Structure 1
Amino acid sequence: MPDPPPEHPAQPADPTRRKLLLVGGFAAANVVLLRGLPRGGEPGSDQVRLEVTGERIPPGPPAIDGADPPPPPGHTFTLVISGGRVIDPASGFDAVADVGIDSDRIRSISTEPLVGTKVLDATGLVVAPGFIDVLSYEPNPYGVWNKVADGVTTNLGMHGINNTAKGFFEFYGSDSQRPPVHYGGAFDNPHMRDVEAKLPTKAATPAQIQLLERALAEGFADGWIGLDVEPEYTPWVTTEEIAALAGVAAQHGMPVFSHIRYSWPGTAQEGSLAAIDELLAVAERTGAAVHVDHITSMTTHVMEEALARLDEARSRGVDVSACVYPYDFWATTLASARFADGWQERFRISYSDLELPGTGERLTEDSFRRYRAENKLVAAHAIPESDLRLALETPWVMIGSDAILEEGDNNHPRCSGTFSRTLGRYVRDEGVLSLTDALAKMTILPARRLEARVPAMRRKGRLQIGADADVTVFDPATVADRATIEDPAQPSVGIEYVIVAGQVVKDRAGLRKDVRPGRPVTPQST
């Protein structure tokens, strides 16, 4: 049968059909475990258990603090998402319901039919908060649409943006460059050191560190929502420099995102666990919140020990989190410090474990030298599946892609398929995560990581009355990634509708490239 049209005239749903959905649609499930989320964004000890016995009786529709009450019965909404399974991981709400949207806000969530000027039929689909990619890059017009196809509504370059905050927000705030998703980012220490401050590739002097501290404070004033440090790629950056900048971040209530200093087992002095210790020491010394970027590619072969070390720090009050992309291979450029002499022993791989994205070509010693001169990005088959699963199963580890598609397609497929792969492979097919826990990792966890000093994030990552109307609607039976190393540009499937600020940017007919409602996410945005 062909898909129903993406929109149809306003008609209230059949109450008989709604009751059948409530009784039968979820009767196959025995129990749904839903977790509350305390400060820091991780699932907490308070759990709501919903027993499915006959007709499902969910908790009441959630609302953010200070939300206006829903409009009275008979109100016609600008947009209604009708008859889907509405899941809000932040509150535990999980029921077949209609979602009523006016302008850019969710105004009602109702198990009774709502009327809208436009109605999207979500029967059989999951209606979730829009996905937040917490570890992306600039929302360039080539790759950002693959983010939309993967369900992303907020694209945050917390791995650092190669620009000043002023330049970044002026560029993407222009009518010609405005993206379809919300956008923000972090102060990129390597870029600011090299391009803006013109510092040499050696340890900074106290005066040079002060220059960077002033630039960071200015960047926060101009819109950055975090600090990015990358000591593996900039090994001349000292712990003192990182701590000085982290101190500025702490004063502004901003988190520090770190590509830690070492990414191989190594030794107690030079290895992943030593790098974790360095970051934790900075956090304890400065009071800064810290985040370990793409933890599976940083603590390979010592994942269990790394997670235990981070858990122990969290138990004594250190504000630390991490993110993961759901792939068993990482990628970086061949001229980076990661491929310094001895990389085969460090990562326990050889030339044939390196693959050129966009072609699928496996490297040899000769092609390695040739592509290194061109600084090509390569995928390294180097992450044990067991490490990946441990990270995914850790409640406080969120999802982040660490990629966005660039022209030429020399990219890791995580640029196109991170969120759909999590839902398709690791929720539906492998059962590593429950659906609610996976959605929490894509929505409320990243929102909570950033919301302390970014008011706009307090309305994102939630499907609640009063929240921003950023919504992702997907088919849990078909959602899947299609991007591969050979063809990383393949968009995901099963993401049926994507709504950003109340506007549909993807429907069943495809991407609506003339709709670009993205807004800046800054400390000043509300």
Structure 2
Amino acid sequence: MVLIARFLVAVLLVGACGKSMGSDLDLVIINGRVIDPESRTDAVLNVGIRGSRIVSVTADDMSASRVIDAQGKLVSPGFIDMHAHGQNILSGRVQALDGVTTALELEAGVWPVNRWYAELAKEGRPINYGASVNWAFARVDALLGSGPEGDDDWLTEQFAGAEWQAKLTSDSQLDEIMTRVQQGLDQGGLGIGFLLGYAPDVGRKEYFHLTDLAARNEVPTFTHARYLSMLEPDSSFEAMAEIVAAAAGTGAHAHIVHLNSISLRDIGPIGRMISSARDQGVRLSTEAYPYGAGSTHIGAAMFRQENWQEKIGGITAHNFDVNGARLEEAEFERLQSEAPETGVVVHLLDTAVPEDQAFLDQSVLFPGGVIASDGGDWSLDGKPVESDTWPLPEKAWSHPRSAGTYARFLRNYVVERNTLSWLDAIERVSYGPARLLEAAVPQMQRKGRIQVGADADIVIIDPVRVTDNATYTAPAQTSSGINYVIVNGQVLVENGELDTDVLPGKAIRNDQPSQSSGEM
């Protein structure tokens, strides 16, 4: 049946509008190497767009009021980032230049959900956006009492504290948390985001009950595993086993975020556990980013536990950098005490060492896995860069994955090392994420595809020049080789230059009905 379905999709792709189409199209992309992972199409074809949808994919001639000649280039579905903390206009523009057309905040999520969507819609966004329900903020709200109405800073301040992180819940308090999370799902949240790694002492039953809530709502969970350690007890393996058990016990789809940075050098046994569970029918999925370093804040609970350096592989303060500068022990201790919210890059694996690169490869190339950036916002001199700033300030700071995740993945794994084909690599950044989400989020049935009726989220890539430029010491450098980015039929990036006059991004919510027909 799968082969028949793919054959029918391919017939629709190549045969759609099989005669020459006239100028009723708004935009035509001609002569490009079209890649559609779902149908396994990899061929030189022309793509016709009307409004926000693709209405023709054919070898026949087409004309329109605007024509883009993509000869020698790849025409790919827009990239879908399932783990994008940077949700302002600036972060979206930087990600667009890395090929991202949809950026979703799923690991942490947001709270309150309705207010977040309303604020982003009012401001506008360059790329599509959406979020899960933030369990941590719902927990803070339920246990500590609601803060000032509309004051997101209050929630953030409480999150940085320790009071909510270890407190076990009574039955009534658990009911309060679940009520808030359910409210967020009812408002369009894309699932439940669990930052267990920032509150490792919360109850296991609480996590199980909320995973069951996700199963009953037919939405995924997105979990930052409880522990970061290669030593038992309280190891990364144990933390991953908890996610597997909750999914098995409830039937929920459990998505494991940043498999690479949590698994560390134990990816072998952790990977076998996940694969075996999936073979038994447990609904599990994974993501990874192509860097050996992670990013968080220096006061995170994982860096306050006993023997944390040994647990994470013998790292020291020198494995941490702030604004591109490595820390000494005294400065590390001062920041933990006086400024625990300080953002840091943590070098967990040294990819210059072949053994460490091999560990990273196991996560990045995990069967069925996808690529996600875990990228964030940008700061300058310790303060957030204003959302509508452009261009990106030269000295702005973030993890380089905020700017270069996708170009880095394509350059490293396709162009330089030939580990993946273009078709398989493009699947991991576009159709793969759409496939993981589409059962719960019908809008995603139109994403990650170059097909008639799909949303016109398209990236045109130079397969020779594509590369990341962001580094740990100079992260504020956008990617090269992403020639065009089209979002909902509007050209956002042309010849590598961003158009700041357009904000074509649209909201992605779980309450949007599927539409089988495009805008004809």
Bin the TM-score by the shorter chain: 0.7 to 0.9
In the other structure, the counterpart of 2:103 is 155
Measure how far apart 1:490 and its partner are: 1.1
Q: 1:223 touches 1:523 (CA, 8 Å); kept in 2?
A: yes
Superposed CA offset, 1:108-145 (max 9, x none): 11112211110112111100000000111252122111
Structure 1: distance between partners of 2:509 and 2:143: 23
Q: 1:182 to 1:71 in 2, by over 3 A?
A: farther
Q: 2:434 touches 2:447 (CA, 8 Å); kept in 1?
A: yes
Amino acid across the alignment from 2:191: G
Structure 1: distance between partners of 2:46 and 2:314: 51
Secondary structure, in 3 states, of the residue corresponding to 2:219?
Answer: coil
1:462 pairs with 2:449: yes
Secondary structure, in 3 states, of the residue corresponding to 2:503?
Answer: coil
Amino acid across the alignment from 2:81: D
Secondary structure, in 3 states, of the residue corresponding to 1:186?
Answer: strand
Report sequence identity in percent. 32
In the other structure, the counterpart of 1:381 is 347
1:420 pairs with 2:407: yes
Listed as ranges, the gaps of 5+ residues in structure 1 are 1-35, 39-44, 50-57
208, 219, 239: which one pairs with 2:184? 219
468, 475, 478: which one pairs with 2:465? 478
109, 115, 137: which one pairs with 1:191? 137
TM-score of the pair, normalised by structure 2: 0.86
Q: 2:52 touches 2:488 (CA, 8 Å); kept in 1?
A: yes
1:70 pairs with 2:17: yes
Q: 1:100 to 1:301 in 2, by over 3 A?
A: same
Q: 1:475 touches 1:496 (CA, 8 Å); kept in 2?
A: yes
Secondary structure, in 3 states, of the residue corresponding to 1:150?
Answer: coil
Q: 1:472 to 1:296 in 2, by over 3 A?
A: same
Structure 2: distance between partners of 1:256 and 1:228: 6
Q: 1:504 to 1:197 in 2, by over 3 A?
A: farther
In the other structure, the counterpart of 2:389 is none
Q: 1:371 to 1:484 in 2, by over 3 A?
A: farther
In the other structure, the counterpart of 2:377 is 405
TM-score of the pair, normalised by structure 1: 0.85
Measure how far apart 1:59 and its partner are: 5.1
43, 65, 82: which one pairs with 1:95? 43
Measure how far apart 1:243 and its partner are: 1.1
Q: 1:421 to 1:61 in 2, by over 3 A?
A: farther
Measure how far apart 1:355 and its partner are: 3.8
206, 211, 229: which one pairs with 2:171? 206
Secondary structure, in 3 states, of the residue corresponding to 1:157?
Answer: strand
Superposed CA offset, 1:478-509 (max 9, x none): 11111111122211111000000000011115
Secondary structure, in 3 states, of the residue corresponding to 1:425?
Answer: helix
Q: 2:110 touches 2:132 (CA, 8 Å); kept in 1?
A: no
Secondary structure, in 3 states, of the residue corresponding to 2:255?
Answer: strand
Measure how far apart 1:196 and its partner are: 5.8
Measure how far apart 1:394 and its partner are: 1.9
1:171 pairs with 2:122: no
Which structure is higher in helix share? 2
Q: 2:48 touches 2:62 (CA, 8 Å); kept in 1?
A: yes
Secondary structure, in 3 states, of the residue corresponding to 1:280?
Answer: helix
Measure how far apart 1:432 and its partner are: 2.3
Measure how far apart 1:194 and its partner are: 1.6
365, 370, 376: which one pairs with 1:393? 365
Q: 2:13 touches 2:58 (CA, 8 Å); kept in 1?
A: no
Amino acid across the alignment from 2:124: R
Secondary structure, in 3 states, of the residue corresponding to 1:228?
Answer: strand
In the other structure, the counterpart of 2:228 is 263
Q: 1:146 touches 1:405 (CA, 8 Å); kept in 2?
A: no
Measure how far apart 1:195 and its partner are: 4.1
Q: CA RMSD in A?
A: 2.2
Secondary structure, in 3 states, of the residue corresponding to 1:262?
Answer: coil
Amino acid across the alignment from 1:459: R
Superposed CA offset, 1:438-492 (max 9, x none): 1111111111111112111000011111100000111111111111111222111
Listed as ranges, the gaps of 5+ residues in structure 2 are 146-162, 350-355, 381-395, 514-520
Measure how far apart 1:514 and its partner are: 1.1
In the other structure, the counterpart of 2:195 is 230
Structure 1: distance between partners of 2:225 and 2:185: 22
Amino acid across the alignment from 1:454: V
Structure 2: distance between partners of 1:196 and 1:460: 35
Q: 1:196 to 1:438 in 2, by over 3 A?
A: farther
Measure how far apart 1:217 and its partner are: 1.3
In the other structure, the counterpart of 2:274 is 310
In the other structure, the counterpart of 1:8 is none
Q: 1:356 touches 1:410 (CA, 8 Å); kept in 2?
A: no
Measure how far apart 1:357 and its partner are: 4.5
Superposed CA offset, 1:3-36 (max 9, x none): xxxxxxxxxxxxxxxxxxxxxxxxxxxxxxxxx9
Q: 1:139 to 1:369 in 2, by over 3 A?
A: same
1:371 pairs with 2:335: yes
Q: 1:322 to 1:307 in 2, by over 3 A?
A: same
Q: 2:53 touches 2:455 (CA, 8 Å); kept in 1?
A: yes
Q: 1:501 touches 1:517 (CA, 8 Å); kept in 2?
A: yes
Q: 1:357 touches 1:485 (CA, 8 Å); kept in 2?
A: no
Q: 1:476 touches 1:494 (CA, 8 Å); kept in 2?
A: yes
420, 434, 441: which one pairs with 1:433? 420
Q: 1:355 to 1:95 in 2, by over 3 A?
A: same
In the other structure, the counterpart of 2:148 is none
